[in-house]
């Protein structure tokens, strides 16, 4: 970036074969170079801001499905290359439709933000990533973490949500989470499918007689 400061000087040298002949000309050329560098920096910042915005969920501030699909592919490659574990948590809100129908969409949006806050507080900053991949479906990528460690993350998410509002403790809200650890030579699409199936099994089990129907935090592998 700082090399751009010399662009006007190099341009003059190429065009005229001479460098500035006076102190005033030198200052003019250097100031012009600084302005060019600042302009390029601003354009780069705006470019990256637009890219980040296109991969961010507006309601929760988490990454969106597009970002998730890119991240899971990249993380699978890195995990295999480094021979490190990679876990994926797929989360679905239980009884979310009940909240929307009874309390309205504003209340539903608040619930989604509470879960997103729980994810942010439960994961490692700059290492793990949380995503909103659908209406009330979320995902968490945990590089370097085993499935057992991922279960602890799910527990922390549930504990944070329980502190956010009584509905997470006394009902009707709960979360069902599917947890999978990347297998050798497994492609990203199958990795995601296994997490989704694990979440669906947990959701079915939570709805079965004899299990808590509300306020629960359940995980399945």
Query: Do 207 and 108 fall into the same domain?
Result: yes
The one catalytic residue among 12, 136, 170, 196: 136
> What would the pLDDT profile of 146-194 be if each residue is shown by its tens digit?
999 999 999 999 999 999 888 787 777 889 999 999 999 999 999 999 9
| 59 inside domain | no
Query: Do 49 and 98 fall into the same domain?
Result: no
| 210 inside domain | yes
The verdict on whether omega for the bond into residue 197 sits within 30 degrees of 0, i.e. cis, is no
Question: Is the model's pLDDT at 32 over the cut of 60?
Answer: yes
pLDDT band at 215 (very low <50, low <70, confident <90, very high): very low
Active site residue 136: yes
pLDDT band at 213 (very low <50, low <70, confident <90, very high): very low
| 60 inside domain | no
| 160 inside domain | yes
| 151 inside domain | yes
Query: Do 8 and 105 fall into the same domain?
Result: no
Query: Do 131 and 188 fall into the same domain?
Result: yes
Written as six digits, the tokens of 70 are 């890119």
* Residue 182 lies in domain: 65-220
Global pTM reads 0.73
> What would the pLDDT profile of 87-134 be if each residue is shown by its tens digit?
999 999 988 888 887 778 788 899 999 999 999 999 999 999 999 999
How high is the pLDDT of residue 44?
61
pLDDT band at 4 (very low <50, low <70, confident <90, very high): very low
Domain CATH for 71: 3.30.70.270
Query: Do 96 and 182 fall into the same domain?
Result: yes
Domain count for the chain, please give it.
2
Question: Is the model's pLDDT at 67 over the cut of 60?
Answer: yes
| 86 inside domain | yes
pLDDT band at 20 (very low <50, low <70, confident <90, very high): low
């Amino acid at each position: 970036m700082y090399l751009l400061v010399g662009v006007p000087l190099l341009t003059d040298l190429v065009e005229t074969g001479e460098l500035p002949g006076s102190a005033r000309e030198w200052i003019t050329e250097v100031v012009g170079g600084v302005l060019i560098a600042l302009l390029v920096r601003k354009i780069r910042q705006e470019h990256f801001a637009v890219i980040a915005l296109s991969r961010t969920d507006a309601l929760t501030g988490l990454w969106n499905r597009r970002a998730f699909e890119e991240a899971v592919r990249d993380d699978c490659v890195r995990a295999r290359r480094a021979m490190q574990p990679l876990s994926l948590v797929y989360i679905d809100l239980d009884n979310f439709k009940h909240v929307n129908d009874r309390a309205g969409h504003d209340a539903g949006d608040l619930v989604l933000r509470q879960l997103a806050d729980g994810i942010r507080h439960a994961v490692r900053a700059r290492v793990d990533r949380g995503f909103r991949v659908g209406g009330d479906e979320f995902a968490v990528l945990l590089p370097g973490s085993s499935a057992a460690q991922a279960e602890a993350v799910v527990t922390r998410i549930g504990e944070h949500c329980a502190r956010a509002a009584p509905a997470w403790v006394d009902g009707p809200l709960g979360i069902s989470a599917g947890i999978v650890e990347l297998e050798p030579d497994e492609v990203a699409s199958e990795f995601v499918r296994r997490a989704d199936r694990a979440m669906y099994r947990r959701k079915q089990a939570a709805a079965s007689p004899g299990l808590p129907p509300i306020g629960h935090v359940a995980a399945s592998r």
